[in-house]
Amino acid sequence: MMNDLTLLQRIRKDFGIEGWVDIQVNGHAGISFCSENLTLDQVSDAVDKLDQAGTTLFLPTVVTTPPETMLHCLRVLGEACDHPDLRKHLGGIHLEGPYLSTEPGAKGAHPPEYMHPPNLEEFHRFQEAARGTSKFSPWPRNLKVLLPLSTGSPRRAWFVRRGTHWRLIRIFESRSTPA
């Protein structure tokens, strides 16, 4: 059985990476990446502590909370993803919600009052706040939804629901359904 140091040395040798990679980190060492009071200094502290523990690359995760809180966290984490001392440790932002199924048993720990189908205007606000660095979770099954980009617009957004998540597939100009 390998100890952590031996395993990290093997990861460096076999894969050419410096340490652990974690695609979902909700916070670390008492710092929540979903806090309405999140600061860049707190993100920096979490990055340093994760790095010291061997996790050298990760995606900070923003889960379903009130929209104002999500926007705040995405802004702070987007700034962190652009920060010269932090960006090498941040692979983007894992956005988990609010586009989750409200079906019983599917919501997990997400507060149902903030969960809803995709809203393209909100999606754009989230992406802008995150400076384009937000990513989405994988999804197991398909359900396609076509939504207008805005009221009265011929532009449409094609979403796919896979399991409990929604994913934006494509924006197009025609009123017809994409292939």
What length does the chain have? 179
Q: What is the pTM of this model?
A: 0.73
In a domain, 165, yes or no: no
Question: For the chain, what is the domain count?
Answer: 1
Written as one string, the DSSP assignment of the chain is ---HHHHHHHHHHHH--SSEEEEEE-EETTEETT-TT--HHHHHHHHHHHHHTTEEEEEEEEES--HHHHHHHHHHHHHHHH-TTTGGGB--EEEE-SSB--STTTSTTS-GGG--S--HHHHHHHHHHTTT-EEE---SS-EEEEEESSTT-S-EEEEEEETTEEEEEEEESSSSPP-
In a domain, 36, yes or no: yes
- Alpha-carbon distance of 87 to 49, in angstroms, equals 15
pLDDT tens per residue, range 21-60: 888 899 999 999 999 999 999 999 999 999 999 898 899 9
In a domain, 133, yes or no: yes
As beta bridge partners, residue 135 has 94
Domain that holds residue 107: 18-138
In a domain, 146, yes or no: no
The helix-helix angle for 67-82 and 120-129 (nearest 10°) equals 40
Give pLDDT tens digits along the chain (179 positions). 456 667 667 666 766 667 788 888 999 999 999 999 999 999 999 999 999 998 988 999 999 999 999 999 999 999 999 999 999 999 889 888 887 776 677 777 889 899 887 777 888 888 899 988 887 554 434 444 444 454 455 555 555 555 555 555 555 554 444 44
In a domain, 84, yes or no: yes
Read off the amino acid at residue 9.
Answer: Q
In a domain, 113, yes or no: yes
